[in-house]
Structure 1
Amino acid sequence: MAESVEMRAQVRETYGPADLSSVPVFAGGFINFGYWRSIDLAGPLSVDDRVRSQEDLYRHVLDAAGPLTGRHLLEVGCGLGVGCALAVREYRPEHVTGMDIHPQQLDRARNANAALLDASPPRLRFVRGAAEGMPFEDAAFDRVHSVEAAQHFDDLAAFARETARVLRPGGRVVVASFFTPDDDPGHGTRLADLLDSFADGLDIARPVGRLTEAFTRAGLTDARVTSVGPEVWEGWDRWLSDQWAPGTWPRNFLKAYQEGSLDYYVVTATRVV
């Protein structure tokens, strides 16, 4: 098992004493931008629509990881664990492990999912650990997934190596997050100008190809990238429009996408042996 990894100050402060999931834009306990394909953006959006968008992002990722029945799943960067609970309820895995680096997030996850944690037989647990140093034995999981957390990972190569290590042969990894489309260094400068989360170092500007290359170097195969930006950015901005004025920094995610400096991707890879 890998050694522990220190949490960056920006991550500790953002997800620490103030529960980010309590902010109205992240209704339902999820902390993601949402996948809006099945939601009508022409009319008013309800809180139920917002929650569904976030659930649907998890469903999109879990469908890409499938089949999941009877499997052992690991979510890296599980936050409050509501995505883990969705996986348990809807996908019939044998067991789900939610891992997060932040102890306060894990406390919230255990409180939010107490009924599932107490179920017999147990199908859910929460463990503290970092993407770059996972506290698990080799070949412990059939599937590894991560939803909107990789933009915080310090070292994508270390994450890829750890993922390859904890996956069983035939296992699959699915990552959903936002990256730059290529390695043009101007993207990072532009994102820092547009978005506070990049300016203060919470989110790290990196090309999506860096993750696929890391998976391949770690011994995983068939690394693939799919853009889901059309299903993410417009709905996110539409949801924000009732709470944030045009030109405020959260509205600039759509602008960064339209300018070609940022996109939202689903990245998959497989461990053959």
Structure 2
Amino acid sequence: MTESAQEPEGAQDGGPRNARPAGADGMRAPVRETYGPMDLGSVPVFAGGFINFGYWRDIDLDRPLSVPDRVRSQQDMYRHVLDAAGPLAGRRLLEVGCGLGVGCTLAVEEYRPAHVTAMDIHPSQLERARRANARLLDASPGRMRFVRGAAEGMPFGDAEFDCVYSVEAAQHFDDLTAFAREAARVLRPGGRVVVASFFTVDESAGRAGQLAGMLETFADGLDIARPASGLTGAFTGAGLTGAEVRSIGPAVWRGWDRWLSDQWKPGTWPRNFLRAYEQGILDYYVITATRSE
């Protein structure tokens, strides 16, 4: 990673920052390469098949952290998102960017929805997800399915779902406006969308360059630097109501960095997520909106 990154094309006019063109399969190269050959969910920094930074509010960070602590932090991120969606018993849910699908299994087992559809753009992830969730798929074939699709073009009919949720995937979405439009389309009246991910704290054009200089995933285009207001605005523009953005950074960044500290030395790039938060550049948000009745 270079010490000084140039401002990516499009950053000045409000376009996606650090975005790269998608290939014929609909994926940008960094997404295809990161989630293809290797099972990222098997990397020790992630644990239990989850791929998120974790929600650490109820975990004691002043003692040595264990793998069960790490798994719980990621489960608690899903619980926090699903709780924000409201009562889910008997409802039809869609997860956008499901990865290995272990969060969908948590939703099925703890929230008693009628059905969960797990969607991901990467076919390798879906193959792994079907293997990882074979027990549930065999035991309850009508409760969960895996479908390939993009956030910007979902392969579903209108008003199919009561809830659309996404956990730490929106930083990869090519087009937040298209995602918001699709979420509004597939939601039933009264349905709710909940997104948890990391965004820049404001619309400053310089944020993309700052993050590219600090964090490898922004420098190589895997993550796209955009403000949280970009998604709330997209939801409102798509006709959704009550769009709200809430920081959960205090429950994310310190725990994530504390977990990293056993594997990554200070000054290495993954430790810069906490630094970017402390410098007021990046934060972690839960963003919600509702389709009107």
Same fold (TM over 0.5): yes
Q: Of 29, 32, 41, which aligns to 2:49?
A: 29
Query: In structure 1, how many angstroms separate the alpha carbons of the residues matched to 2:252 and 2:217?
Result: 18
> Which residue matches 1:73?
93
1:223 pairs with 2:243: yes
- Distance, in Å, in 1 between the alignment partners of 2:239 and 2:87 is 22
Equivalent position of 2:122 in the other structure: 102
2:174 maps to 1:159: no
| Count of matched residue pairs | 270
Alignment-mate amino acid for residue 50 of structure 1: R
Question: What TM-score do you get using the length of structure 2 for normalisation?
Answer: 0.91
The residue aligned with 2:202 is 182
Structure 2 distance, partners of 1:229, 1:120, is 36
1:19 matched to 2:71: no
Match of 1:262 among 282, 287, 291: 282
How far 1:120 sits from its partner (Å)?
Answer: 3.8
The aligned residue for residue 133 of structure 2 is 113
Query: How far is 1:88 from its partner?
Result: 0.3
In 2, the alpha carbon distance for the partners of 1:121 and 1:199 equals 41
Question: Structure 1: how far apart are the matches of 2:113 and 2:126?
Answer: 21
Deviation track 1:18-70 (CA, whole Å, cap 9, x = no partner) reads 11111100010000000000000000000000000000000000000021000
Q: How far does the alpha carbon of each residue in 1:244-266 deviate from its partner, in whole angstroms, 9 at most, with x for none?
A: 00000000000000001100000
* Other-structure match for 1:138: 158
Q: Residue by residue, what CA displacement relative to the aligned partner does 1:205-230 show, whole Å, maximum 9, x if unpaired?
A: 00100000000000000000000000
Q: For residues 141 and 215 of structure 2, what CA distance do their matches in structure 1 show?
A: 45
The aligned amino acid for 2:72 is R
- SS at 1:33's partner residue? coil
Other-structure match for 2:6:
none
Give the gaps of 5 or more residues in structure 2: 1-23
CA displacement at 1:115 relative to structure 2:
1.4
Percent of aligned positions with the same letter in both sequences?
A: 77
Structure-2 separation of matches of 1:119 and 1:76: 23
1:63 to 79, 83, 89: 83
Letter of the 2:96 counterpart: V
Q: Which protein is richer in helix relative to its size?
A: 1
| Matching residue's letter, 1:166 | V
- Distance in 2, matches of 1:146 and 1:235, equals 21
